[in-house]
Structure 1
């Protein structure tokens, strides 16, 4: 379901994307290594999008839960000037301290997602958001424009952005 949507994003918004599914944490780490070390376009990517299940600030991979801190440590220092965005399959319900820890450890520019899971995927807002990410590199301007243009959808999905 995600791959056809990403293809549409590439066609309609000229958004380059790399799709990778993984079965376990080892596959996840391997995919990250390939992305970070072998993808010559990695520096041009300004957003990493994760469609993973999870709850209680833990992502779920193959019925095993990994804490948000563990995820941050996997990316330690490797996300300079990137935004990490989670689809609403994972509730990004963290406090400011945990968000700041993630940003400090990874070097990410921002962390975004939704405060709760919803029965419908967040792709409607995600696509618009990704398009804005290509235009606005300042996190404040990005979020202000997103809320100005899609306020009702942002509130309905409980959009969150930490920077």
Structure 2
């Protein structure tokens, strides 16, 4: 008898096309991060006004991020504010502290929350929530979709944001 863990369920290919609804959105985030771990994506960029309805605090999401995280990988977060992340996603905050050396967090506090892209970008696949209030958007692997979203995110990261969400808070 062995103590080997049960075989992992194979992940389906990530979907392309439209999605709608909070559960569909959350499942895309879970599946995207699980695929990142499985396929070894070199970079992940996540962006949202506040990450309120992202499943970042779920154990399965943290396990995917833990499997994904290696030296040489990059994880970038962009938000108007990280208050909701700190308040709602304690597991993620702990993971973020451990992997600070591969994580960049940027904030844009004066941005209109509806203007900031709500998205998960990778070199292989993207998910873009075009209507955050209704959790409706598109996902896919098309190069044009990935390039356009990355250009938009780069603009926010370079000229419309500043460092934010430190991994530790220094104080007296």
Q: So what's the TM-score if we normalise by structure 1?
A: 0.42
Greater per-residue helix proportion = 1
Which protein, 1 or 2, shows the higher relative CO under an 8 Å CA cutoff with sep ≥ 6? Answer: 2
Q: Which structure's residues are more often strand, by fraction?
A: 2
Q: Larger radius of gyration, structure 1 or 2?
A: 2
